[in-house]
Each structure stands twice: as structure tokens, then as C-alpha cells.
Amino acid sequence: MKIEIWSDVMCPFCYIGKRRLEASLAKFEHRDKVEIVWKSFLLNPDLKTNPDQSTLDYLSASKGWSKSQTEQILSQVVEMANNEGLTYHMDKTVVANAKNAHRVLQFAKALRLGDSMKERLFKAYFTEGANIDDTATLQRLGEEVGLDREDLKDVLASDQFIEKVNGDIQEAIQIGVRGVPFFVFDNKFAISGAQAVETFDQTLTKAWEKYMESQQPLKFESQEINNSCDLEGNCNND
């Protein structure tokens, strides 16, 4: 069963949502039959990378919040992350365009390393204060999860995988995604936002039940049918 997740590397609730889904999957009986597919989403595709600007200043300016209001909001986010075992250093996060990070994620997905890459990007951004638009940083992070050094260099030196990033974004628009994280379970159920673990539990169960129904062979009422042939090549035209 497939779970598709639209998220942005710079979205604090996306990392929290990842942990809550993982907590739910950890106790899910059929977790080894679940495939996680990370989808790209850019909350601010035109954002200018500026390592010299703090996230506090950026949010205050872009949202029109006072600095005290911004500090209070960030503090609440940090506390929420702590409750999920995550360490956020919002005072160190770098204002950076995430498009290149998503291209690296798409490259990793092609090699079945998407989940590892997503985790590494999240940790680099929120915990380590890394610049996720810096080529050397993305090279290092990609190599850490197992991406080939030379292949990764080629990706970063080009616009490879940008069509995959844009394709995910267009798909999100088509299905009505308005914010992230956005989880789609087997194309039948969706969760918007970093909901409680219990919500993931319930949705996993419902999605699995529907998934299993779809795996059952079709059954028909049997009756004698003339003018037919069987698998052994015997034909009846009575």
C-alpha cells in the first residue's frame, strides 16, 4: 500500500508530521507492506537564499509579525518538535530556496533512497542550521545517504530532476493541496497537516482495509455457460 506525502524541506510541521506517521507505522501490523513516497512541494518557490538573514527577521518581514510575536510562534513550534523527539534550532535556520534540495530528493527517490534523503535534509535544516541551497552542503548530505559522488555532482551542476519537482507540484494543485504536509493513503484517504498519531492510526486502518478489498479476486455467481471454451481447450457449443 502506498502513502504519498507532499512536503517542503523548510516546513517545520512536515518534519513533525513525518515523525507522527512513523510512530503510527511502528505499531501497524502490516508496516512492511507500506511504501512511503515523498512528493515535492515549494511553499515559496521564489524565495531568495540569504544566509545573512535570520528566520526570525525573515518571518517578521514577510508575515508582518512583530519580533516578539514571531519569537512566540517559533517557540511553540520548537516545543511541538521536542514532544516528537526532534531538536529544532530555529535561531540557526538559514533562509534558503529549497528547489535544489528537492532536485536532490528526486534523484534519491529514483534510487529508492527518498526517505533517507528526506530525513537528512530535515535534520540538516532544522537541527544543524545548514544552508540547503548550498551546492557543497547538498553534495555532502547526498553522499551521506549513499548517492554516488560523481552522479550527484552532475545533478547539482544541471537542472536535472526539475521536471519531477514541477510534476509533483502540478499534481498537488490538481488534487487540491493547499498546504503541507499532505498525506494521501492509497489514493483513497488524505490527512492534511501534522495531525495526532491517533488520526494516522485510524486512517492507516481504513486505508489498509480498502487496499485489501482491492486485492481480492473478483467473484461471480457460477452458472453453466454454453458457447465457451475452457483452459484445456474443450469447447461447448450446446
Extract the C-alpha cell encoding 46.
Answer: 521564489
Extract the C-alpha cell encoding 220.
Answer: 461471480
pLDDT > 70? residue 223: no
Tell me the residue type at 219.
K
Does a structural domain hold residue 229? Answer: no
Beta bridge partners of 189: 185
Does a structural domain hold residue 237? Answer: no
Does a structural domain hold residue 234? Answer: no
> Residue 67 sits in a domain of what CATH number?
3.40.30.10
Does a structural domain hold residue 225? Answer: no
| pTM of structure | 0.89
pLDDT digits (tens, 9 = 90+) for 51-96: 999 899 999 999 999 999 999 999 999 999 999 999 999 999 999 9
> Higher confidence at residue 225 or residue 181?
181
Does a structural domain hold residue 227? Answer: no
Does a structural domain hold residue 230? Answer: no
DSSP H stretches of helix in 2-131: 12-26, 55-63, 67-83, 99-110, 114-126
Domain count, the chain: 1
Task: Look up the domain containing 42 and give its range.
Answer: 2-215
Does a structural domain hold residue 68? Answer: yes
Extract the C-alpha cell encoding 134.
Answer: 548550498
pLDDT digits (tens, 9 = 90+) for 117-143: 999 999 999 999 999 999 999 999 999
Does a structural domain hold residue 42? Answer: yes
